[in-house]
Structure 1
Amino acid sequence: MKKADACYVYSHEEHAYHFHDKHPFNPRRLTLTKDLLETCSSLDHSSVIKARKATEQELALVHDSAYIEAVKLAGANQLSADKARNYGLGTDDTPLFEGMHDAASYLVGGTLAAVDAVMNGEYTHALHLGGGLHHGFRGKASGFCIYNDSAIAIEYVKQTYQARVLYVDTDAHHGDGVQWSFYDDPDVFTLSIHETGRYLFPGTGSITERGAGSGYGFKLNIPLEAFTEDDSFIASYETAFREAVEFFKPDLILTVNGADSHYLDPLTHLHTSLKSFHFIPKLAHELAHEYCAGRWVAVGGGGYDHWRVVPRAWGSIWLEMTEQTHILDQPIPTDWIDRWKSESDVPLPTRWHDDQSMFPTIPRKPIITARNQQTVEKALFSIRNEKKLRKS
């Protein structure tokens, strides 16, 4: 595959989606990742397309008009605190900031530009790291997410291209906003592999959430035990993804690539390393070519260790998309380290892989692995049963 077969969607306007300097959701992640790829000479200007601003009509594919208007007013300091909170705005998770409607609209527009690039046949794959705001609801902000770019993009693909979408979410937090947007829709299959909601926001994503009405059986959740390590994460992800894609046979795969299941992430309790983040896009790439002519759009998501984890995890997606994974065996360029070390409060990584000696031993690993295997078996029961019925 040539580099031109994948595009990298980015626009400086996306950096305006910035709650405040101490908020964990920081656009610095976009800068660090893009700069790392450029320093490795793996990303050039010819592969970059600009994120555009989504129209209000496009936002309304998922969000209520009253909510969109509330976001506009809140970003102009024209909405009372009480009314803002009714819409999930002005909270600790989703504080108000000036121009929030425009900034959030660019994140949505970037994902729409990515799906257009792929569905129009201009590119086989597209990466938009500014997207992945999967907690936004029809009429309410949640979990750092104002507008839900992934849900909007899926509805846009359905209406514009009459296509069926497999949504695969490996963020450590359940992809609740996307799941509920299409809970009764048989043309959208949602797969979320995440830390169990017993310990982590948003508290949903159990194996019993399978869809409703004609959408029953098209929603799949794999809630993993806290302290899940690479081997169990990868096995659970691969088994669920392979069975879901074979069952559903989508026209497009859309992946949300949160980097917050990593051991160093400050907000979650999973225990993976870069080994998992190298495998996640590898499998998505393989299955996209096997089932839907390569049509694969990847977006960002969570990930709150900005310096050590996110640039390497997100950079790995682009290296996989463009078949440059040999770079993963090379050192992180000293130019990148020297450029950013004065701003970082932690030592920057020197390699794309993690030193496994940095990870403490989890004494309950066999128990955690067995429980995750059991969860996968239970979660996949309805798909496997339906496949048997189809054959009979």
Structure 2
Amino acid sequence: MTKPIFVFSDQLLSYKFSNHHPFNPLRFQMTFELLKDAGILSEDQIVQPRKATDEEILLVHSEDYMNAIKKAGQGQLPKSLRSSFGLDTDDTPVFKDMHEASAWLVGATLTATEQVFEGKTNKALSLGGGLHHGFRGRASGFCIYNDSSIAIEYMKQKYHARIMYIDTDAHHGDGVQWAFYDDPDVCTFSIHETGRYLFPGTGNVSEKGAGKGYGYAFNLPVDAFTEDDSWIPILEEAIDEIVKFFKPDIIISQNGVDAHYWDPLTHLSLTMKSYRKIPELVNRAADRYTEGRWIAVGGGGYDIWRVVPRAWSLIWAEMNGIELQGSLPEAWLKKWQEKAPVDLPTFWDDEADLYPSIPRKQEICDKNQVMLQRALQHIRNEKSQCNQNLTVNFRK
């Protein structure tokens, strides 16, 4: 059995808007060191990424946009043109060499893709990826190039694959959904906080795809303050039914961890209990339906000290069949507590009384159940129709 691979190099830390921007690559370095200090990441599992080529970026993005990103990173794009490409906003300010930094993140996800399809592993983790808000000709939501969309198109063209995309970030995976909205060979599923309260405002349950892709986009918007007890069962039911329905060749999952209670940018109330369960469910689906083929990427997560390193480490642990329990490594805690502005948790799991009781808990659970039924309705309708046809044929 091949070992899972972890794509990493220092080049992936160069995707940095500013010292004060919430999207901080330090969380990637912290996760890498946590895995090393925990003794579950060996040198022979670390694979160096390559930088994506222009041609690969153009699989999804327009040439005008890519050229604008190149110029912006060299200080050569006039300020009057930046807004038309989604640049110079609070979310996506211009930074030096932004094309090169972004191309490394894309290349890391493509490296993970090649490792799987060339038979070197079944499971690969590229935490630098997961930039799911990038559009064909516009940056959005901290995302310049959409590595997942590029990897999906690359898998389609080079390996003729049928791809399942699962997004558990608190924000809707809009860029990936719209890139393949009319494509019957790509199925997208996003569970996220409802757009009534949160960027990007899309991801309604009624967004189901278009043309030949109708029925292959799934959205499960959950209510603000959703907790583990509601999130886990609806996610489990959704993944089981959707992956079984679509029958993909591979799963690529986006693992934003900004639905945690401590995250400063969202309004959900998950704990590490959910971040243990998410990779478990995706891994189980991959083993059942794709012969184990699973690529995991990163994504959001803005409590970089208390949440992201632990949650992302649990993905790697699941890929390797390891259960992380008890205390975090002492050496890691000592190093990063000296730098952290908050007290670091000392255990892999959160305390049971992490936050006060949430009002309206049952109402929130009920709303989420309704959304689940609506999201899966056309699968169940199709099953019902098939069963009716089988019954009719049998009687004939």
TM-score by length of 2: 0.97
Q: Matched residues in 2 for 1:6 and 1:305: separation?
A: 27
Corresponding residue of 1:338: 334
Corresponding residue of 2:349: 353
Corresponding residue of 1:324: 322
Q: Matched residues in 1 for 2:24 and 2:199: separation?
A: 19
Corresponding residue of 1:363: 359
**Cα drift, residue 45 of structure 1:** 1.1
Q: How does 1:92-241 map to 2 (within 5 A)?
A: 92-241=90-239
- AA of the residue aligned to 1:33: T
Corresponding residue of 2:393: none
Whether 1:271 aligns to 2:272 is no
Q: Matched residues in 1 for 2:234 and 2:298: separation?
A: 21
**Cα drift, residue 124 of structure 1:** 0.8
Deviations, residues 191-236 of structure 1 (Å, cap 9, x unaligned): 0000000000000000000000010000000000000000101111
Q: Matched residues in 1 for 2:251 and 2:6: separation?
A: 16
Deviations, residues 278-319 of structure 1 (Å, cap 9, x unaligned): 000011111101001000000000000000000000000000
**Cα drift, residue 389 of structure 1:** 2.9
Q: Matched residues in 2 for 1:90 and 1:14: separation?
A: 22
Q: How does 1:241-390 map to 2 (within 5 A)?
A: 241-325=239-323, 328-390=324-386
Q: Where does the alignment leave 5 or more consecutive residues of structure 1 unmatched?
A: none
**Cα drift, residue 105 of structure 1:** 0.3
Is the contact between residue 332 and residue 350 of structure 1 (CA under 8 Å) also seen in structure 2?
A: yes
Q: Secondary structure at the match of 1:357?
A: coil
**Cα drift, residue 121 of structure 1:** 1.0
Is the contact between residue 135 and residue 148 of structure 1 (CA under 8 Å) also seen in structure 2?
A: yes
Q: Matched residues in 1 for 2:86 and 2:167: separation?
A: 23
Corresponding residue of 1:84: 82
Corresponding residue of 1:22: 20
**Cα drift, residue 41 of structure 1:** 0.6
Query: What RMSD over aligned residues (CA atoms) do the two structures have, in Å?
Result: 0.8
Corresponding residue of 2:61: 63
Q: Secondary structure at the match of 1:5?
A: coil
Deviations, residues 246-294 of structure 1 (Å, cap 9, x unaligned): 1001000000000100000000000000000000001111110100100
- AA of the residue aligned to 1:12: D
Q: Matched residues in 1 for 2:358 and 2:139: separation?
A: 36
Corresponding residue of 1:51: 49
Figure out how many residues of one structure are paired with residues of the other and give that number. Answer: 388
Percent identity of paired positions between Structure 1 and Structure 2: 54
Deviations, residues 142-171 of structure 1 (Å, cap 9, x unaligned): 000000000000000000000100000000
TM-score by length of 1: 0.98
Q: Matched residues in 1 for 2:348 and 2:336: separation?
A: 16
Is the contact between residue 133 and residue 301 of structure 1 (CA under 8 Å) also seen in structure 2?
A: yes
Is the contact between residue 247 and residue 387 of structure 1 (CA under 8 Å) also seen in structure 2?
A: no
- AA of the residue aligned to 1:113: T
Q: Matched residues in 1 for 2:168 and 2:289: separation?
A: 20
Q: Matched residues in 2 for 1:387 and 1:28: separation?
A: 46
Corresponding residue of 1:72: 70
**Cα drift, residue 11 of structure 1:** 1.5
Which stretch of structure 1 is more off in the superposition, 225-234 or 355-364? 355-364
- AA of the residue aligned to 1:298: A
Q: Where does the alignment leave 5 or more consecutive residues of structure 2 unmatched?
A: 390-396
4+ long deviations beyond 6 Å = none
Q: Matched residues in 2 for 1:270 and 1:388: separation?
A: 34
Is the contact between residue 186 and residue 214 of structure 1 (CA under 8 Å) also seen in structure 2?
A: yes
Q: Matched residues in 1 for 2:31 and 2:360: separation?
A: 34
**Cα drift, residue 127 of structure 1:** 0.2
Q: Secondary structure at the match of 1:101?
A: helix
